[in-house]
Copies of this chain bind each other. A is one copy, B any other.
Amino acid sequence: MFFLKDLPTREMISGFAHSLDVVDVQKTGDALQMLRRASLLIRQLERYFALHGLSQTQFLVLMILHRDQSKHSHLAAKICEKLDVSKPVISTTLKTMQRRGFIVYCEKAEDSRMKPLRISDAGRELLLKLLPGYFEILQAG
């Protein structure tokens, strides 16, 4: 991600704005600043994950799988919902995660459309290794 490095100044916003009608310069400026901060943070996180061969999505999937230890298995559709990404993304993400050994598919369920899966030991190990740095980046941001 990214976002304007040199944020529009208040002057500039009101410059754009005064030809328009109702622009709350303060609110707009805040929103832009937030977008910028978030972009930088996301970038930092992505770089951190990439350093360990994960994408952010993969990391978040690991979080979800690990978090809910009560469930013995999870479904792509549910992960999809929690993560708020499209189905195809989860589909391919899970495939590569399986290839790399971070998740394993369980035995089939009664409903044979479903492909229940869970985090593997390697996956959990990696997640736990990355968590401290993850929180550190979040806090500093």
Contacts and interface: CB of A to CB of B under 8 A. Distances in A.
Contacts of A74: none
Interface in A127-141: 131-132, 135, 138-139, 141
A50 interface: no
A141 B31 contact: yes
**Is chain A's interface secondary structure helix, strand, loop, or mixed overall?**
helix
List of 4 A-B pairs having minimum Cβ-Cβ separation, nearest first: A38-B38, A5-B84, A31-B138, A27-B139
28 contacts: A1-B1, A2-B57, A3-B84, A4-B60, A4-B63, A4-B82, A5-B81, A6-B82, A8-B63, A8-B67, A12-B67, A13-B135, A20-B131, A20-B135, A24-B139, A27-B139, A28-B135, A28-B138, A28-B139, A31-B138, A31-B139, A34-B34, A34-B38, A34-B41, A35-B38, A35-B41, A35-B42, A38-B42
